Chain A
Amino acid sequence: MSGSEFPAGEFLTPEERNLSERFAAQGYLIAPVENRGALDQIRTHVAAAACSALGIAPPPDGKEGALLDRIHEHVGPDRLNGLRLSVIEAMAAAPWLRPAYFSLARQALSTVVGNELAMQRRVNLSVQLPGDTASLLPIHADVWSGDSPFEAVLWVPLVDCHGTKAMYLLPLGPNADLSERLHSFAERSAEDIYRSVEPEIAWMEVPYGHYLLFNQNLAHGNRENGEAETRWSMNCRFKGVFTPYADKKLGEFFEPITLRAMSRIGMDYRLPGGFDE
């Protein structure tokens, strides 16, 4: 075995280095999910919960995406939040759903965030009907609202997301510039901030079967869905379990999910006592 296989000071594999560098440079990764069966199972569960809440027949196998895309034919903006809450409740009541969600990007999370992780206790769901202006998320960075800068967001659509049916992210350079001048918007609105960066935002094209893993320190949000279909997407935050927490605390918001044996042993260890000075 030659030493040249191990460049000095390089501990990441070439694949890990490549993924880390891409994430750091772009602020996001879009890739096929690592467990397609788990994603299909989640989508079936969500579609069944939506049908049950709306009192309509569940779709035939393989037609869940089509139903979710056209859900605006069954519900309007006035009943949308009720539907969303019913489905979130059904998601929270399925104990398998969070491990399944984690499995969608387990390797990528391990590379980009760490292998001892804390996961948000609830997987969130966004449903955005075409033309609905009541479910918009104005431009923001999660870290501005009390999230730790060590968190990454795993965003997974249940339908093909493109154009304004998706979400946008402000790339690194323009985001650094916005950060410098954010205070100048103190008496203005989020819409003013959006207008000032609109030419620079990047719309995330994420087909079903793919995930988006992004740096939530970058400004992001959504706009009125101008496409003909409804957007359904899930999101959940992950961070290194031993990295600093901000306002979203361990226990009430995050839960350790992949503590390793030596960490458990270390946490339980007590030095022998009883000695006298």
Chain B
Amino acid sequence: MSKVERRGYRGYIGCRPVFGNRTAQHVQNLVIRDYAQRHGLVYKLSATEYAMPGCYMMLNQVLEELPALEGVIAFTLFMLPRRPERRVAIYRRVLAAGASLHTALEGFALHSEDDIDRLERIWRVQSLQIPSLQSS
């Protein structure tokens, strides 16, 4: 069986507000394009997460595509699922595929297991600012 050539980084944007803040989709794409350009990454047209609360079907679709990608560039870290175990499962799935996960707005990149702690520390502090997230 021939090996699939891995090429480019799939953008991942959303149409739900993140912690009450909305960013227009074309602006999310501009931030991702700029990040990709500054880091010398090949940007591939973004997948847009669906509007339904708690839905991550498009993210799942992007993760399915990982064998053909070098990685994913999400607009922001905080558009990932709110449940920590769900986020960690995503980080591990990216790493297991030999890919990387980038968050353009914050400029973070997940390349190894060590990076998980860093991202999750930031998420935990952010969660403290949002009362509804403190139980999750």
Contacts and interface: CB of A to CB of B under 8 A. Distances in A.
B53 to A, nearest CB: 11
B61 A144 contact: no
Interface in B15-56: 15, 22, 24-26, 48-52, 55-56
B57 A190 contact: yes
Interface string B52-96: 100111001100100000000000000000000000000000000
A124 to B, nearest CB: 13
Given A138-B61, A247-B22, A146 B55 contact: no
Interface residues on A, range: 10 to 19
Given A189-B64, A247-B22, A146 B57 contact: no
A126 B123 CA distance: 39
B26 A252 contact: yes
Contact of A189 (B22, B24, B55, B61): B61
A185 B57 contact: yes
A143 B55 CA distance: 14
Contact of B60 (A188, A246, A248): A188
Contacts of A247: 15, 22, 24-25, 51
A8 interface: no
B125 to A, nearest CB: 28
Contacts of B51: 143-146, 246-247
A253 B25 CA distance: 10
A185 B64 CA distance: 13
A143 B51 CA distance: 8
Chain B interface SS verdict (over half): loop
A143 B24 CA distance: 15
A187 B60 contact: yes
A186 interface: yes
A217 to B, nearest CB: 12
Nearest to A140: B50
A188 B60 CA distance: 7
Contacts of A146: 15, 25, 48, 51
A186 B56 contact: yes
A84 B116 CA distance: 39
A144 B61 CA distance: 15
A246 B22 CA distance: 11
A252 B15 CA distance: 14
Given A246-B51, A247-B25, A145 B57 contact: no
Contacts of A145: 15, 48-51
A32 to B, nearest CB: 33
A186 B60 contact: yes
Nearest to A246: B51
Q: A145, A183, A246, A252 — which one has the most chain B CB atoms within 10 A of its CB?
A: A145
A22 interface: no
Contact of B61 (A182, A190, A246): A190
B97 to A, nearest CB: 15
Given A190-B61, A247-B15, A253-B24, 5 more contacts: A138-B61, A187-B60, A188-B57, A246-B15, A249-B24
Interface of A: 138, 143-146, 182-183, 185-190, 246-249, 252-253
Interface of B: 15, 22, 24-26, 48-52, 55-57, 60-61, 64
8 contacts: A145-B15, A145-B49, A145-B50, A145-B51, A182-B52, A186-B60, A247-B25, A252-B24
